[in-house]
């Protein structure tokens, strides 16, 4: 050992002990003939003092920031105590210093607030990782990992490793593939998830499975997506949906307690997908704050009936609303008193191309009970009052209204709501609100192919009472314009997402475990029987040998850590992340490979380099 103690553990109880520490020079301050060094390691910072004699002995050995040194000396009480850090009451009076390794000047400062830009920090990630904010993230990630494992272990789950070199079965996302040298012309695929394997493990009787596991998706990367990402992947047998929800609520509560010290004892609300879309405009509502959407007019049917037929706003001579497919409103608390400038800013905000609205209507419900609106000339005070009442606005609130095509407008008002929440400080990093979204549609309609696609994945079971609907109807969509009338359009899935602060942190479903139903699902997705057998024959086969009822869930581990760490960026919670082009700029990967390697793999490049 190069040390007797770490830089985070010595205190007044250790006075006069002779100790040896090793670590990095964080700072170096000379006061006349005395030098102070802040020595840093993973565990903390300890102050070293070199007196006049030591300073002289050291004179010809230059020290600098980030040098790795070993220092032996005596623990002494500091005259000038620093009570912010645990070791701030003592210092080490140094008798000997050994330089273990030198450092050139780092390209950015190793401080909480660094002067290094994103690109530079990524290139020198090994230095960025030294900074406290990043180190805390990596430590938090480990704590979440450990807590999840402990909870799952306590609940009889077993970590079982599934293979990484598997078969390419692209559905939706693209696979990364790996050419096989020993099987020329053939390729492995890297798993997008261990889905089929965990289902096979249920067929094998393993009952409760988990894995903290890397998954791979070759997607065009949006901001904050990684080509490789980590899942907490779980599956259970002999359970129903409610059992899964309880088990994994328990896991998240356990993680909150262990990692954040938070007793999350609130009941976790269950919201149907339909309600989420209707009230929040998206399927992962941030329920840390209200401002639910009021549907003044909508083509979206709630529980099958057109509740919002527009009677409050139509036929007032305001063509914009009359012609709109959808008119949606939110009441913003205490916003009636906002300045003209504030409303104009918001109007500009919704007109940005990312949102793409034509304008933003407002109705101010003043404290004195009067109404003022940007559409005063079309709507009488009575009509404004009726709208205000419908939207449940209180005196002092302002109502913001967007109109246009259904999907775009709903997304826009959802974005506007979140933006307002942000501006009004209602989305606090240290407040956590969990939510289950349930009853997702089993299918979505693919206009491009005029067929169904699985909303979750092809292994998700329909609600038990809708299995017959699925089995007894032909999935073929005869009339594309009337696809919503097809019986499949109304089938709900036994699927669920866990949402934390407006982010989907986990999702799963009860699975199909009957061959007939699984084949019907593949039919519905437009797969021929041959295709289905080629891709998933092993699973269909397995279902013939006594597959138990089962279901599971997978948590996005990177995202979960980021949110628990109070950040929206997953990259800061991954030790060695890739950039938005899928590159590791530190390694400079991907890179070209030798022609010899290509030849061994029986492949060539289509375009030359």
Q: Give the residue, chosen from 78, 136, 146, 288, that forms a contact with a second copy under the rule CB under 8 A.
A: 146
CB of 569 to a second copy, least distance (A): 17
Strand 398-404 relative to strand 361-365, pairing: antiparallel
Estimate to the nearest angstrom the gap between the alpha carbon of 223 and the chain centroid: 12
Report if residue 40 touches a second copy, rule: CB under 8 A. yes
Q: Give the residue, chosen from 51, 89, 207, 322, that forms a contact with a second copy under the rule CB under 8 A.
A: 207
Report if residue 239 touches a second copy, rule: CB under 8 A. yes
Question: What are the backbone angles phi and psi of residue 450, rounded to the nearest 5°?
Answer: 45, 55
Closer of 319 and 607 to a second copy (Cβ): 607
Report if residue 221 touches a second copy, rule: CB under 8 A. yes
Report if residue 607 touches a second copy, rule: CB under 8 A. yes
Total Cβ atoms within 10 A of residue 483: 18
CB of 547 to a second copy, least distance (A): 5
Report if residue 172 touches a second copy, rule: CB under 8 A. no
CB of 9 to a second copy, least distance (A): 11
Report if residue 108 touches a second copy, rule: CB under 8 A. no
* Segments of 255-412 assigned E as strands: 269-272, 294-297, 326-332, 361-365, 371-373, 398-404
Q: Give the residue, chosen from 384, 542, 553, 560, that forms a contact with a second copy under the rule CB under 8 A.
A: 542
Q: Write the DSSP symbol of residue 402.
A: E
Strand 371-373 relative to strand 398-404, pairing: unpaired
What's the rounded Cα separation, in Å, for the pair 477 and 484? 10
Q: Give the residue, chosen from 216, 378, 445, 459, that forms a contact with a second copy under the rule CB under 8 A.
A: 216
Site string for a second copy, 340-359 (x = CB under 8 A): --------------------
CB of 226 to a second copy, least distance (A): 9
SS3 250: helix
Return the half-sphere exposure (C-beta side, CA atoms, 13 A cut-off) of residue 453: 12
| Burial of 44 per CB tally in 10 Å (0-12, 13-18, 19+) | middle
Q: Give the residue, chosen from 118, 307, 345, 544, that forms a contact with a second copy under the rule CB under 8 A.
A: 544
Closer of 36 and 176 to a second copy (Cβ): 176
Q: Give the residue, chosen from 106, 250, 356, 526, that forms a contact with a second copy under the rule CB under 8 A.
A: 106
Q: Write the DSSP symbol of residue 532.
A: H
What's the rounded Cα separation, in Å, for the pair 11 and 13? 5
What's the rounded Cα separation, in Å, for the pair 488 and 475? 7
* Segments of 346-486 assigned E as strands: 361-365, 371-373, 398-404, 434-438, 443-446, 451-454
State the number of binding residues for a second copy (CB under 8 A): 125
Give, as ranges, the residues between 242 and 281 that touch a second copy (CB under 8 A).
Answer: 243
Q: Give the residue, chosen from 15, 34, 337, 605, that forms a contact with a second copy under the rule CB under 8 A.
A: 605
Closer of 43 and 349 to a second copy (Cβ): 43
Closer of 419 and 584 to a second copy (Cβ): 584
Closer of 207 and 568 to a second copy (Cβ): 207
Question: What are the backbone angles phi and psi of residue 111, rounded to the nearest 5°?
Answer: -135, 165
CB of 313 to a second copy, least distance (A): 47
Report if residue 24 touches a second copy, rule: CB under 8 A. yes
Q: Write the DSSP symbol of residue 259.
A: I
């Amino acid at each position: 050992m190069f040390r007797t103690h770490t830089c985070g553990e010595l205190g007044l109880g250790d006075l006069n002990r002779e100790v040896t520490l090793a670590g990095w020079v964080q700072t170096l301050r000379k006061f006349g003939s005395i030098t102070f060094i802040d020595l840093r390691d993973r565990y903390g910072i300890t102050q070293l003092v070199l007196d006049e004699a030591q300073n002289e002995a050291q004179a010809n050995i230059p020290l600098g920031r980030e040098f790795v040194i070993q220092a032996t000396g005596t623990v002494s009480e500091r005259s000038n105590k620093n009570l912010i850090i645990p070791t701030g009451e003592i210092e080490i009076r140094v008798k000997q210093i050994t330089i273990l390794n030198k450092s050139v000047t780092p390209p950015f400062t190793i401080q909480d607030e660094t002067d290094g830009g994103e690109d530079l920090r990524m290139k020198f990630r090994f230095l960025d990782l030294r900074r406290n904010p990043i180190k805390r993230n990596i430590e938090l990630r480990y704590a979440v990992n450990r807590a999840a494992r402990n909870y799952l272990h306590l609940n009889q789950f077993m970590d079982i490793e599934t293979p990484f070199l598997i078969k390419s079965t692209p559905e939706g996302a693209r696979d990364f593939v790996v050419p096989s040298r020993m099987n020329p012309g053939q390729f492995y695929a890297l798993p997008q998830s261990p889905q089929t394997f965990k289902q096979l493990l249920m067929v094998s009787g393993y009952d409760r499975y988990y894995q903290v596991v890397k998954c791979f998706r070759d997607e065009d990367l949006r901001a904050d997506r990684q080509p490789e990402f980590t899942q907490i992947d779980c599956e259970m047998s002999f359970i129903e949906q409610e059992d899964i929800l309880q088990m994994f609520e328990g896991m998240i509560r356990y993680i909150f307690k262990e990692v954040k010290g938070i007793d999350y004892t609130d009941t976790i609300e269950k919201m149907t997908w339909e309600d989420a879309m209707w009230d929040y405009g998206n399927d992962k509502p941030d329920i840390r704050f209200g401002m639910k959407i009021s549907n003044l007019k909508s083509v979206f049917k709630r529980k099958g009936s057109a509740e919002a037929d527009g009677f409050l706003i139509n036929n007032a001579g305001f063509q914009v609303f009359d012609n709109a497919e959808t008119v949606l409103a939110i009441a913003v608390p205490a916003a009636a008193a906002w300045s003209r400038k504030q409303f104009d800013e918001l109007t500009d905000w919704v007109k940005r191309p990312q949102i793409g609205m034509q304008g933003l209507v407002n109705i101010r419900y003043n404290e004195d009970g009067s109404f003022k609106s940007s559409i005063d000339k079309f709507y009488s005070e009575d009509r404004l009052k009726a709208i205000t009442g419908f939207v449940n606005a209180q005196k002092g609130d302002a109502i913001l209204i967007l109109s246009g095509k259904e999907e775009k407008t709903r997304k826009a008002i959802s974005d506007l709501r979140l933006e307002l929440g942000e501006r009004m400080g209602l989305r606090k990093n240290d407040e956590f609100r969990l939510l289950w979204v349930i009853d997702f549609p089993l299918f979505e309609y693919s206009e491009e192919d005029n067929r169904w696609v699985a909303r979750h994945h092809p292994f998700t079971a329909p609600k038990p009472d809708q299995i017959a609907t699925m089995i007894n109807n032909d999935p073929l969509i005869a009339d594309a314009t009337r696809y919503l009338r097809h019986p499949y359009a109304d089938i709900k899935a036994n699927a669920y997402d866990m949402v934390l602060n407006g982010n989907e942190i986990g999702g799963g479903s009860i699975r199909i475990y009957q061959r007939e139903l699984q084949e019907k699902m593949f039919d519905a997705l437009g797969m021929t029987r041959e295709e289905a057998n080629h891709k998933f024959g092993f699973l269909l086969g397995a279902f013939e040998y006594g597959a138990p009822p089962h279901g599971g869930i997978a948590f996005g581990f990177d995202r979960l850590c980021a949110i628990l760490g109070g950040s929206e960026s997953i990259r800061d919670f991954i030790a060695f992340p890739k950039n938005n082009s899928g590159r590791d700029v530190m390694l400079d990967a991907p890179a070209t490979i030798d022609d010899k390697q290509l030849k061994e793999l029986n492949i060539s490049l289509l375009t030359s380099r």
